């Protein structure tokens, strides 16, 4: 090859290498490339009191982890029709919130424990087209906003002012939807989400179909374009990180439930309920750490 041709080829290669390097800096790496959530252990999940959700509570210091299940629903709420409790969350300031739903109607309810130990209930009247179910809530790190989701295949998450902590809310007034998180990829049967940072959600999905991400029962990460607030919608980039464990002495249909990210330890926990009679014996809360 003539020297002039070699120089031209080398110049082109150099330009391509420079362009590739620039693009690698400009395009963020996919969420799955940031690390791997590795299973580190598990605890038995009681089917009555630990089968729906869980939350790590930071205030007051030394507070035990909280769980929800059919056995944790107050009788007074159950008799008024609030017969399902979902995955709860707790804020940095010590507000603890449980999501409730009924079999019918046009509302969902959030039961709130304030840092002083008092309880109150906030009811949200459904917006047009909003699903009735109330599977989970996730409080933003600043404490002022709360995300919630709907069952089925969805392209959005709902944003509310945090009941109790956001001073614009009142138990005697409707809890309004403030904004929406618009997802760039559909999600299905999300049972819980928790913030691991101001704009990062980790979510557990009970999707047994597998057509959305190529795996069933995925652990999802949602990267938000901005911290949620009442000032407008934000977008969310969805990535499936791994399949959640499905292990039991029984065969059949598992159910992935709530999720919790403990900001103090960096431990992620997810409840998986076993099929059949094994719901009583080997349902688990799995623990993960980020490598």
Predicted confidence band at 23 (pLDDT cuts at 50, 70, 90)? very low
Q: What is the CATH number of the domain that holds 204?
A: 2.120.10
Output the pLDDT for position 200. Answer: 98
pLDDT tens string 66-76: 999 999 999 99
Each residue's pLDDT tens digit, 34-49: 579 999 999 999 999 9
Task: Return the pLDDT at 52.
Answer: 98
Which of 28-32, 59-63, 253-257 has the weakest average pLDDT? 28-32
For residue 113, is it within any domain? yes
Taking alpha carbons only, the member of 235, 237, 199, 245 closest to residue 220 is 237
Torsion of CA 36, 37, 38, 39, to 10 degrees: -160
Going from the C-alpha of 145 to that of each of 38, 53, 182, the distances in angstroms are: 30, 20, 16
Asked, for residue 122, whether it belongs to a domain, the answer is yes
Tell me the average pLDDT of the chain: 90
**Residue 291 within any structural domain of the chain:** no
Domain extent at residue 92: 52-250
Q: How confident is the model at residue 27 (pLDDT cuts 50, 70, 90)?
A: very low
Residue 29: pLDDT above 70?
no
> In the chain, pLDDT over 70 holds for what percent of residues?
88
In the prediction, which pLDDT does 183 show? 98
How many structural domains are present in the chain?
1
**Would 30 be classed as within a structural domain?**
no
For residue 267, being part of any structural domain is answered with no
Confidence band for 124, pLDDT divided at 50, 70 and 90: very high
Q: Calculate the CA 197 to chain-centre distance.
A: 12
HSE-up of residue 267 (Cα within 13 Å, Cβ side): 15
In a domain, 211, yes or no: yes
User: Is 19 within the bounds of a domain?
Assistant: no
Q: Please state the rounded mean pLDDT for residues 139-149.
A: 97
| Residue 289 counted as domain residue | no
């Amino acid at each position: 090859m003539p020297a002039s041709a070699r120089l031209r080829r080398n110049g082109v290669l150099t330009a391509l290498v420079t362009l590739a390097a620039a693009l690698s800096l400009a395009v963020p790496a996919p969420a799955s490339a940031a690390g791997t959530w590795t299973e580190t252990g598990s605890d038995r999940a009681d089917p009555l009191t630990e089968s729906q959700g869980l939350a790590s509570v930071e205030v007051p210091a030394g507070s035990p982890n909280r769980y929800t299940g059919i056995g944790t629903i107050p009788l007074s709420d159950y008799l008024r029709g609030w017969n399902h409790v979902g995955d709860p969350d707790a804020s940095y300031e010590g507000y603890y919130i449980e999501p409730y739903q009924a079999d019918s109607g046009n509302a969902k309810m959030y039961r709130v424990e304030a840092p002083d130990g008092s309880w109150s209930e906030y009811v949200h009247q459904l917006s047009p087209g909003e699903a009735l179910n109330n599977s989970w809530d996730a409080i933003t790190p600043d404490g002022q906003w709360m995300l919630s989701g709907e069952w089925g295949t969805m392209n959005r998450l709902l944003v509310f002012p945090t009941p109790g902590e956001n001073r614009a809310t009142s138990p005697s007034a409707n809890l309004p939807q403030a904004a929406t998180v618009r997802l760039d990829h559909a999600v299905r049967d999300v049972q819980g989400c928790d913030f691991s940072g101001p704009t990062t959600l980790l979510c557990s999905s009970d999707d047994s179909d597998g057509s959305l991400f190529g795996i069933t029962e995925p652990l999802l990460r949602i990267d938000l374009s901005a911290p949620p607030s009442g000032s407008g919608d934000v977008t969310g980039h969805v990535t499936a990180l791994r399949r959640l464990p499905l292990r039991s002495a029984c065969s059949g249909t598992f159910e992935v439930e709530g999720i919790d990210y403990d900001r103090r330890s960096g431990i992620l926990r997810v409840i998986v309920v076993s099929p059949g009679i094994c719901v009583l014996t080997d349902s688990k809360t799995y623990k993960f750490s980020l490598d």
